[in-house]
Amino acid sequence: MIGVFDSGVGGLTILRGLVRELPGRSFVYLGDNAHAPYGDRSPEEIYRLTLAALERLFGLGCRLIVVACNTASAVGLRRLQQDWLPRAHPGCRVIGVLVPMVEAVTGVPWSVPLAPAGRPLGAARTVAVFATRPTVESGAFVREIGKRAPEISVVQQACPRLVPLIEHGGSAAALREAVEHDVDALLARTHGAAPDAAILGCTHYPLVQPLFAAALPAGVRLLSQPAVTAASLRAYLARHPDLDAAHPAPARFYTTGPADAVAGLAARFYGQRLAFQRAPG
Ligand code: DGL
């Protein structure tokens, strides 16, 4: 059983990609809706809440967890993997959504999707990152891209209006205006130069991906986080067969928040209504 964690319902966009790519696996999803959005929280709060959520998923019997939240992956994951996990849950693994995107954009060998023209994504020289404020402030995308491909220049843009607008069912016009505002702000910092690739570094942004595609200059490659994460998880399981207990079962959905309200919101992110239960513990 593979755990999938997010601050709320946004990680369902990632889960959908995982279920599509790995239909033979069973997944258990946990949304920390009682404390979402993480984009409004401090790094210490995000670390503490992520740790508590991972404990819940380990308590449900997971040995491998995908942190499908960019904010939690960017802010807390490295520290959790280094300081806490080996001590608290030896033999268990937690992976995030940030590194797969970085590997895709820098062209590190495994799980690197090719651009439509067959050009490796590693050919990018300027990469735009759109994300929540804590993700941008963590510098994690810049740091991880820099480690693998220091020649790539990374331009970041925090988009604090987008998550609340998407969750509260903002109108198409309001969403378009917010995306255009964020893209314009980023392009102002590149003096109008188009990036080669753009990372939508937040679980919610696949829902407005066509708006980003329309607002960005033509030819910018948009990386799809659900597809990239799914390809990366497939490769990870091939390298760690001990963590790949393939016994198909329908996914289960837990939340720390009110199950009915969360199920209503979740349908928009997953494309169908899901039976959420209150998380144990
Ligand atoms: N899941 C978060 C992310 O991917 C977005 C929602 C939030 O701020 O909690 O960054």
3-state secondary structure 205-221: HHHHHHHHHHHCCCCCE
- Banded pLDDT at 123 (limits 50, 70, 90): low
- Banded pLDDT at 108 (limits 50, 70, 90): low
- Catalytic residues, by residue number, are 69, 202
Comparison of pLDDT for 124 and 51, the residue scoring more:
51
pLDDT at 23: 86
- What does the mean pLDDT of the chain come to? 92
In the predicted model, what is the mean pLDDT of residues 177-194?
97
196 and 64 Cβ atoms separated by less than 8 Å: no
Question: What is d(CA 189, CA 193) in angstroms, rounded to the nearest whole number?
Answer: 9
pLDDT at 124 over 80: no
Token code pair at residue 99: 């590194």
78 vs 98, 110, 148, CA distance in Å?
11, 21, 16
- Banded pLDDT at 116 (limits 50, 70, 90): very low
Q: Cα(117) to centroid of ligand 1, in Å?
A: 32
Nearest Cα residue to atom 7 of ligand 1: 37
pLDDT at 117 over 80: no
- Banded pLDDT at 102 (limits 50, 70, 90): very high
pLDDT at 208: 96
Burial (0-12, 13-18, 19+ Cβ within 10 Å), 108: middle
Q: Is the peptide bond before 37 cis (omega within 30 degrees of 0)?
A: yes
pLDDT at 121 over 60: no
Count of structural domains, the chain: 2
pLDDT at 19 over 80: yes
Supply the range of the domain harboring residue 89: 2-96+227-278
Residues 244 and 211 in one domain: no
153 and 180 Cβ atoms separated by less than 8 Å: no
CATH, residue 87 = 3.40.50.1860
Percent of the chain with pLDDT over 90: 84
- Banded pLDDT at 98 (limits 50, 70, 90): very high
Stated pTM of the model: 0.93
Q: Where are the alpha helices (DSSP H) in the chain?
A: 12-21, 43-59, 70-79, 85-88, 98-106, 133-138, 140-148, 162-167, 172-189, 209-215, 225-239, 259-270
- Banded pLDDT at 218 (limits 50, 70, 90): very high
Residues 12 and 86 in one domain: yes
Ligand 1 atom, smallest distance to 202 CA: 4
Which span out of 38-52, 146-160, 224-238 was modeled with the highest average pLDDT? 38-52
pLDDT at 114: 41
Q: Which of 201, 224, 247 is the last residue of a domain?
A: 224
Residues 110 and 219 in one domain: yes
C-alpha angle 26-11-34 in degrees, rounded to nearest 5: 105
pLDDT digits (tens, 9 = 90+) for 142-182: 999 988 888 899 999 999 999 999 999 999 999 999 999 99
Ligand 1 atom, smallest distance to 39 CA: 8
Q: Does 6 contact ligand 1 (Cβ within 6 A)?
A: yes
Q: Does 71 contact ligand 1 (Cβ within 6 A)?
A: yes
Question: What is d(CA 138, CA 38) in angstroms, rounded to the nearest whole number?
Answer: 13
pLDDT digits (tens, 9 = 90+) for 70-94: 999 999 999 999 999 999 999 999 9
Residues 141 and 191 in one domain: yes
In the predicted model, what is the mean pLDDT of residues 251-258?
97
Q: Cα(242) to centroid of ligand 1, in Å?
A: 30
Comparison of pLDDT for 112 and 16, the residue scoring more:
16
Q: Which of 203, 224, 245 is the last residue of a domain?
A: 224
Ligand 1 site-directed mutation target among 46, 69, 166, 209, most atoms within 8 Å of CB: 69
pLDDT at 240 over 70: yes
Q: Does 38 contact ligand 1 (Cβ within 6 A)?
A: yes
Residues 155 and 214 in one domain: yes
Q: Which of 178, 208, 224 is the last residue of a domain?
A: 224
Residues 61 and 89 in one domain: yes
